[in-house]
């Protein structure tokens, strides 16, 4: 299954777009619609700039990773809107967290009400509830509950004359990321 225009628009709404590379709150270089090296090429680096069209193309390519993660985690058919909502969540929290989530467990046993309610579990960053995440989860839950859905968008072709960069290094172990987030949270508590 592919993410529909509705799902893509939801992700774009909450990720926002930056056409110049920046270090996010935990120091991860990011560009476009939340693209990081963990999602695949290109690797954002200081000073990097892209066009709006490049940001759109990168997002569509990045979605393949998250669509695959959702498809691999769920064991029952999803509506287009359910798939789009789960892909948006997966894009934001990562494939590992998504696969282990209560939302996936409830969805897989057929508890759609419980699965819909479980979106709100993912509203914290650095141990603190963030209103932006509360709002994003509400939008994802609403989409998940909506019946039907629109048709998926095909990925853009990769031009044959563009050399593809090497695959990114494996992601840091989860423990390191948690330690970094805990450190950042403790710094904010001191102020």
Query: Does CATH number 1.10.530.40 belong to domain 5-150+171-190?
Result: yes
Q: What is the per-residue pLDDT for 148?
A: 64
Q: The pTM is what? A: 0.73
Rounded to the nearest 5 percent, the helix, strand and coil shares of the chain are 55, 10, 35
Assess whether 15 carries a catalytic annotation. yes
Average pLDDT across the chain, whole number: 84
The pLDDT tens digits of the residues spanning 151-173 come to: 444 444 544 444 444 555 455 45
15, 67, 140, 141: the catalytic one is: 15
Residue 15 pLDDT > 70: yes
pLDDT band, residue 39 (cuts 50/70/90): confident
E-strand spans in the chain?
18-23, 29-32, 35-36, 124-125, 128-129
Share of the chain above pLDDT 70, in %: 76
According to DSSP, residue 96 is labeled H
According to DSSP, residue 36 is labeled E
CA distances in angstroms from 7 to 92, 108, 117, listed in the order given = 13, 21, 19
The pLDDT tens digits of the residues spanning 112-163 come to: 999 999 999 898 777 787 888 899 999 999 999 998 654 444 444 544 444 4
């Amino acid at each position: 299954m592919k993410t529909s225009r509705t799902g893509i628009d939801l992700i774009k709404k909450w990720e926002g777009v930056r056409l110049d590379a920046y270090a996010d709150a935990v120091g991860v270089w990011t560009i476009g619609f939340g693209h990081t090296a963990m999602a695949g090429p290109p690797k954002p680096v200081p000073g990097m700039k892209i066009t709006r069209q490049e940001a759109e193309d990168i997002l569509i390519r990045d979605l393949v990773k998250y669509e695959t993660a959702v498809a691999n985690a769920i064991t029952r058919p999803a509506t287009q809107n359910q798939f789009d909502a789960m892909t948006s969540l997966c894009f934001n929290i990562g494939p590992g967290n998504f696969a282990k989530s209560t939302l996936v467990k409830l969805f897989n046993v057929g508890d759609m009400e419980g699965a819909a309610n479980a979106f709100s579990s993912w509203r914290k960053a650095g141990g603190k509830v963030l209103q932006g995440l509360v709002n994003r989860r509400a939008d994802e839950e609403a989409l998940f509950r909506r019946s039907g859905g629109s048709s998926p968008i095909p990925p853009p072709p990769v031009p044959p004359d563009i050399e593809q960069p090497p695959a990114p290094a494996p992601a840091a172990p989860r423990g390191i990321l948690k330690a970094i987030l805990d450190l950042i949270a403790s710094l904010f508590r001191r102020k």
